[in-house]
Structure 1
């Protein structure tokens, strides 16, 4: 079985072996480099990029690249080529080389070899590391000399190196300008080499004079070298140069338009349109006047369809500018005429591009409250296109997705279009085996997320389809996914509505014949939209059908949580019983969640979210208990005396006043817990963050109302919720509506019964119970981040110095300072920067003197309270950052150092992501000297200072002195 499998000597950690640390991995690769077999050396070399990605710290990368430089100096050309590939693949780690001079010295020695292949590889490796050695004059000289070589391989390598250095070094670019110009214009340079030399000129943009000279040279080359390859390369170089300088964009646009209209070769026409597309990205405001109209006129007069698609792509980018939309918003504009001519094209790609341009103009008009000419024609064209794409036999999935995105954008701009597109897409759902069903369901979900009642007309159609799918014995993967999507549409539609029996029975019927993963996805969607009853039914059936223990406990956690939320919404029991039972189930869920946690998946966010929810329900229950004691706990007999002493009129009510204030404080603490959890959720999606914001504001609202009852000068604010129910997401609208209803009730009470005296009335307490009941019945939508992490970002720290033995302390001499270096790496998942990106990292080092058993009676408590905090903000470069601190220790003892990292995103928001590391530092205490009188000595010299705990202070000194005297 294993005879044909080659077993590697290098650990890949692919078969469950313990993971190596950085030193062990580097040692193992170093053995391969020293091997006498070329194959083992090559195998070791090609593993270095993976090592750099796993341990991207400067000390390891510097040591590794120096070893590779030694192999490059002593090895053969094949090994050198492998090392070149390592440098090219590890470009973002090259700036971590600390001994750049030594690295260059070892590589540079090969440039004097008699082998032109070796010199060529050396030049290419210099080009690969040009970012860290851009101004090395000796390498500049080598490149210039190699350009005059008679060996073609060496010249091509020199050209590659010249391109890389010109992109990095202004000095090299300026000095090489004349050299490259002479070679391009020289008759002795072969034509194919001229084609390789021309791209060097695109990096000559470091100053205006050089850029102008290069542009003039390239423009002069165009008539002199009219061959297609030369024209294409020269136009590409001029376009890159113009995009970098920006000031040459108008002239370059005119040049490209000239070749587009006048050159008969189709390859040049198409490339000209591609370059116009590149120049459209900086903005339409940089294009010269009339150039856009020239493009439109050319496309209108063109008879070839292959010109239309790239031209429409250019116009699509240009129309993203508000200026273009404003100029072409009227029905008589040439752009609208062009798009109207092609929006019914039989070619789907052409029709989609035309619809996209018209949609962009229409959405701009809606946003700016301008008159939208031809809106109905755009809607009709879009409906026709969607029907064409869904009925055709050809698969045009990307075009259909683009058309549906246009429909969603129009519905977001004007919600009255929702009904039109829902009716249109609902007629396409009958084909449950079609490839487009999932795409249509996604579009319906996007439209349905705008308002809950949007999909109500389709509820019968969706239930009919689900019934038909449930009867299929062996459903395909597409049909199973379709069932999941249709169930999600049901959850969206019934958000905020009560379920009837037929709908509930249909979902149960679908679940009974579905696979386990699809059922989990359906239940996950149910709790996201607050339908906990159906989710509890599904989770209950899934708990015993998983193979791993932590999966079982995870499902048990979800089952208990959904049961708790289901009990809160029932009307059969009293409010106190509902809250009490929900808290019990939440505690069971928290216990199950602890059992579900693993080192790889610690479920920290989930545990904190459920803990805060339990605390909030406990606060609500305590508030109800406090309301119920108004009639059964009378104020004490000394209430009037307490009022006089405290000058607090609310103390006249006695015990209930303090209990209300305690409840308000607990709500405040609960809101702060939500905010702390919010700050740790850097990778959370916007809906999850919005969910936590609303829950925090709910705590603030209850705190304000309770304070208005029992604290002088407090009142209910007009709008404690920061955003209205119109702009909030569909799954969160029920929470916001409950809060708004509660605020309205509280404000009505204040308007009806303005309380002039500091009294707590039965009416206030009853209203407070009504508010708690409203908040309790508002179904909690469990956020997406609770289940799915779409963006994964973590910070990994390496701190030096480290103790020799793990868990021991670092010893520092008294009176000296400790230099702490913190190096870190930002690690990303599969979708880096999906929601937000790290702009800066804040590294904080905290030093505090610890109270040990030995000196606990000696240390002043004030010294223990003194904390030294040093902070430094650094910007990651290629996901790496480093910070250094110099710590002073004012007195001897044991100190605890805490190193913590937090991040700042591109919007300057701070996030407490961690990690957090601790070190122990021990500073020897200053020895106290005790004066000892020595008999027989002179009066001025009869005192010897000795350590306080020395043996000499316990009587030995006198004996030894007496012996000496005798």
Structure 2
């Protein structure tokens, strides 16, 4: 059966199903029983969602419209509610004129409820009736009705139409201004009508007319509800038509300065925040100076001060804020500096202080990232050293509340965890921009507050310190750091074990954050067995207080018991931070606890993959340390025309890569066996790609090493000259073919991962770029052998191995493979410039691997 025949049969089945359902719907609508009719009306939105075809929508809605015309007000209300649920499907109607012609007579009905329901149905169908003049006149005619139900319906429909129809908004504006200016109109009606002003943004003329009307009402009505509604409406109108932004800012600041009513002041600050988010480029220096002057005045409450800081923070979210805030900061008396300094000098630390810290961090980050030619220590009018000193002081001051002793970032009740997390992230960005001040973090004594029983805030502190170590690794190695302040894995574990267990148990997020910090402190090595045991013992002592062991707990390692889920989370955290040996050991302990065959295969796959990573990383670190100690043969390996020296470490590297390939293939086979509906095909294919990469690297090292070993033969020392070869070695062509096949497999794998997350796509792209880099090296070597015989004088033959367009999309911190690629490209430039002679030295290739 062909695909076309199957498609036609599928279409015919859909048509039969739709026809059957429409017949059942029609039967229910024509039933004399009111309950059957209501049931049919309630079901038609589901039918339109299942069959969203214009023909079906038109057919069904014609029948629904007829029910609306022939039925009672209760059935009309049911139709209105059902239409509200399927407004997106009703936009596909192509018979709008027929529907309006059927509904229009009911706008002149003697029943006000029927007229109101008809108007609301027009508002529900606003997307398809937006340009129908008859609908416009029907709504405008009833907007000042004496019946409240009809007036409310007309106002609601006006909101729906005015937002999408400029013609309706232009027709509504003069009527709206007339009704608002009439003294005979009720206050409640005016409150409902003036909110329509936010839709008068389609043309400049109606914007000016509407704003003039609303500002005039401010002088006439001083009621709180009126003033708040008018200010909100004017602000929304300004955001949609920003032609009176300066006047609106002046108006809001005037009410904030002169009006003493708290609700109006809160409304002014709320609207200032909206304008700061939507039109920050239209703020000028006078507005900020006025805001700072209000901040420094004594008439503001603590909540209002926090709202003012929130407005300033909204302004820092745009690049325009650099020039604006810099100009405002030049005035040391009326600018931002007095606000920041006066707040940071207040103790104890409050929520307002933290908001000021966030604001100052944003300002300093903005200035650091902006294109300012002259860099000064004084940024935004305040010295960076002064700000850092004040921040460190606040971190050192404890809470004065006896119920919550300790630092504010551990025990404060006013500061939420989200605000604390934002503060930490801004401090990380700030010290990443100004790395010279990063050593001041040791003066905060943050490491001494890490206790297993501190709760979620200690977990946030651990995440903060972990992120700092990732961005600023020199925090643990800087020469200016005092040895007593130097933090290592050993000292941190000793401090954690020395603290007494608290009655309150520690949550899993804090445990994982604390493990991540310890793992990051040992990023350059694997934890020893003693350190792993100490860490897991600390965790167990805080989560288990009973003396009787629980049989459901897991023994990791032999003397420590953990719950299986917590042990799995710790193992996953270990893998994330490169502690693959610990992860493999925990996974091995989890394997006997598997409750199903699928979970057992999954755990076994994780064990093999962790062993794969541990094997490669341990060998690479050991060889790298030996290179650092023995650097005498670097020049020999870089010169391809010099006789190669003995390189026994290459055999160790080849064996490690082959062992890693075997483990990866075993992991791939195990992951394939997981099976099930959510089969781990991505994980299996990824591990397979890594296995092929290890195998290709091992074969590349082996071929280069064995080609160079002929040059180590002592008999060649008696040969006066070494003959030039006329063709490239055969192993180069073989390696090129194998790497081309690997590149095709990676490209096919990437094509299957179009819905993957950004980090996964960047990682796969980095692997593809690394493979392409090796392919370009092999092509350059082959081309060097082939072209030297044709042009012997071109001894200074330079080959470009970099392809900037392939790596431009990868940031240096996005993936390890992408980060190492630029240094690899610089490393191979010298070895590629050589004279192709027999027994050339290719020992630089294993060193590159």
* Shorter-normalised TM range: 0.7 to 0.9
Equivalent residues in 2 for 1:191-210, closer than 5 Å: 191-210=187-206
Q: Is the 8 A contact 1:198 1:234 kept in 2?
A: yes
Q: Deviations over 1:464-516 (max 9, x none)?
A: 466579x979984x433222111122232322334334323335555543332
CA drift of 1:237 comes to 1.8
C-alpha distance in structure 2 between counterparts of 1:432 and 1:258, whole Å: 50
**Pick from 355, 378, 391: which aligns with 1:382?**
391
Return the match for 1:314 from 311, 316, 327. Answer: 311
Report the CA distance between 1:128 and its aligned residue. 2.7
Q: Does 2:813 correspond to 1:755?
A: no
Counterpart of 1:703 (choices 775, 793, 796) is: 775
Matches within 5 A, 1:646-665: 652=727, 656-657=729-730, 659-665=731-737
> Matched residue pairs, number?
726
Whether 1:175 and 2:171 are equivalent positions in the alignment is yes
**1:411 equivalenced with 2:459 (yes/no):** no
Q: Give yes or no for contact 1:450–1:729 (8 Å, CA) kept in 2.
A: no
Residue 844 of structure 2, aligned match among 767, 783, 788: 767
User: 1:238-249, aligned counterparts within 5 Å?
Assistant: 238-249=234-245
Shift of 1:375: 1.5
Distance verdict in 2 for CA 1:285–1:159, change over 3 Å: same
Match of 1:623 in 2: 700
Are 1:584 and 2:614 counterparts? no
- How far off its partner does 1:551 sit? 3.3
> 1:26 Cα deviation (Å)?
10
Question: Residue 493 of structure 2 corresponds to which residue in structure 1?
Answer: 463
Aligned pairs for 1:390-409 within 5 A: 390-392=409-411, 394=413, 396-397=415-416, 398-409=418-429
1:323 counterpart residue number? 323
1:28 Cα deviation from its structure 2 partner? 7.1
User: What SS does the corresponding residue of 1:490 show, helix, strand or coil?
Assistant: helix
Q: CA separation of 1:625/1:430 partners in 2, compared to 1, >3 Å: closer, same or farther?
A: closer
Report the alpha carbon displacement of residue 268 of structure 1 after superposing the two structures with TM: 1.6
Deviation by residue 1:877-901 (Cα, 9 ceiling, x = unmatched):
xxxxxxxxxxxxxxxxxxxxxxxxx
Provide TM-score, normalisation by structure 1: 0.67
Superposed displacement of residue 707, structure 1: 2.7
**Is the counterpart of residue 729 in structure 1 residue 813 in structure 2?**
yes
Question: How far is 1:414 from its partner?
Answer: 1.9
List per-residue Cα deviations over 1:536-592 (Å, max 9, x = no partner). Answer: 222223334343443333333222222222233454983343333322332232233
The one of 403, 423, 428 equivalent to 2:449 is 428
Task: After TM superposition, give the deviation of residue 427 of structure 1 in Å.
Answer: 2.7
Q: Distance in 2 between matches of 1:378 and 1:536?
A: 46
- Structure-1 residue corresponding to 2:719: none
Residue 500 in 1 paired to residue 528 in 2?
yes
Match of 2:687 in 1: 610
Q: Which moved more, 1:665-674 or 1:123-132?
A: 665-674
Answer whether contact 1:705 1:715 (CA < 8 A) is retained: no
Change (3 A) 1:119 1:517: farther
| CA distance in 2 between partners of 1:121 and 1:329 (Å) | 58
Deviation at 1:202, TM superposition (A): 1.9
2:352 is matched with which residue?
350
Partners of 1:623 and 1:132 in 2: CA distance: 67
Provide the C-alpha distance between the structure 1 equivalents of 2:820 and 2:62, rounded to a whole number of angstroms. 65
Listed one character per residue, the Cα deviations across residues 612-660 of structure 1 (whole Å, up to 9, x for unaligned) are: 22222232233244336538999xxxxxxxxxxxxxx96646xx42x31
Question: Which whole-Å CA distance do the structure 2 matches of 1:719 and 1:699 have between them?
Answer: 12
Which deviates more from structure 2 when the two are superposed, residues 176-185 or residues 21-30?
21-30
Cα deviation code 1:416-474 (max 9, x no counterpart): 444433654323213623341122122223222214454672534542466579x9799
State whether residues 284 and 324 of structure 1, in contact with CA within 8 Å, keep that contact through their aligned partners in structure 2.
Answer: no
CA deviation string 1:749-805 (max 9, x = no partner): 45xxx523x3463421x2222323xxxxxxxxxxxxxxxxxxxxxxxxxxxxxxxxx
Rounded Cα–Cα distance in structure 2 between residues aligned with 1:716 and 1:280 = 53
CA 410–29 in structure 1, closer or farther in 2 if over 3 Å, else same: farther
- Within 5 Å, which residues of 2 pair with 1:654-803? 656-657=729-730, 659-671=731-743, 673-674=745-746, 677-678=749-750, 681=753, 684-712=756-784, 717=800, 728-729=812-813, 732-733=815-816, 735=817, 739=821, 742-743=824-825, 746-750=828-832, 754-756=833-835, 758-759=836-837, 761-764=839-842, 766-772=843-849
Corresponding residue SS for 1:337: helix
Structure 2 unaligned blocks of 5 or more: 1-12, 397-406, 477-485, 540-555, 623-650, 712-723, 788-796
Alpha-carbon distance in structure 1 between the residues aligned to 2:520 and 2:462: 12
Match of 1:126 among 122, 125, 147: 122
Determine the C-alpha separation between the residues in 2 that align with 1:307 and 1:94.
46
Secondary structure at the aligned position of 2:231 is classed as helix
1:371 maps to 2:369:
no
Give me the whole-angstrom Cα distance separating, in 2, the residues matched to 1:292 and 1:631. Answer: 72
Report the CA distance between 1:83 and its aligned residue: 4.4
Structure 1 residues 290, 575: closer, same or farther in 2, change over 3 A?
A: closer
Following superposition, the deviation at residue 147 of structure 1 comes to: 1.9
Aligned-pair distance for 1:175?
A: 1.1
SS at 2:507 equivalent = helix
Cα 1:180–1:105 change in 2 (3 A) is: same
Over residues 252-299 of structure 1, what are the superposed CA-to-partner deviations in whole Å (9 max), with x where a residue is unaligned?
Answer: 112222222233322222212211221122344313551221122122
1:491 to 513, 516, 519: 519
Q: Please give the alpha-carbon distance, in whole angstroms, between the structure 2 residues aligned to 1:285 and 1:624.
A: 59
Q: Residues 488-567 of structure 1 correspond to what in structure 2 (within 5 A)?
A: 488-507=516-535, 509=537, 510=539, 511=556, 512-567=560-615
Aligned to 2:630: none
In structure 1, C-alpha distance between the alignment counterparts of 2:223 and 2:747, rounded to whole Å: 66
Is 1:443 aligned to residue 464 of structure 2?
A: yes
CA distance in 2, matches of 1:43, 1:577: 74
Q: 1:239, CA displacement in angstroms?
A: 1.5
Once the two structures are overlaid, the 10-residue window that deviates more, 686-695 or 481-490, is 686-695
Give the secondary structure class of the aligned counterpart of 2:131. coil
1:419–1:48: structure 2 CA closer, same or farther, 3 Å change rule?
farther
Q: 1:167–1:203: 8 Å Cα contact kept in structure 2?
A: yes
Alpha-carbon distance change, 668 to 404 in structure 1, aligned in 2, over 3 angstroms: same
Secondary structure of 1:449's aligned partner: helix
8 Å CA contact 2:811–2:819 kept in 1: the answer is no
> Given that residues 329 and 361 in structure 1 are in contact (C-alpha distance below 8 angstroms), is that contact kept between their aligned partners in structure 2?
no
Structure 1 unaligned residues grouped into runs of 5+: 1-19, 635-648, 773-966
Please give the TM-score of this superposition, normalised by the length of structure 2: 0.76
Instruction: Answer with 303-312 or 203-212: which moved more.
Output: 303-312
Q: 1:507 to 1:393 in 2, by over 3 A?
A: closer
How do 1:905-924 and structure 2 match up within 5 A?
Answer: none
Structure 1 residues 38, 660: closer, same or farther in 2, change over 3 A? Answer: farther
Task: Sort the Cα spacing of 1:178 and 1:741 in 2 relative to 1 into closer, same or farther, 3 A.
Answer: closer
Aligned to 2:673, what secondary structure does the other structure show? helix
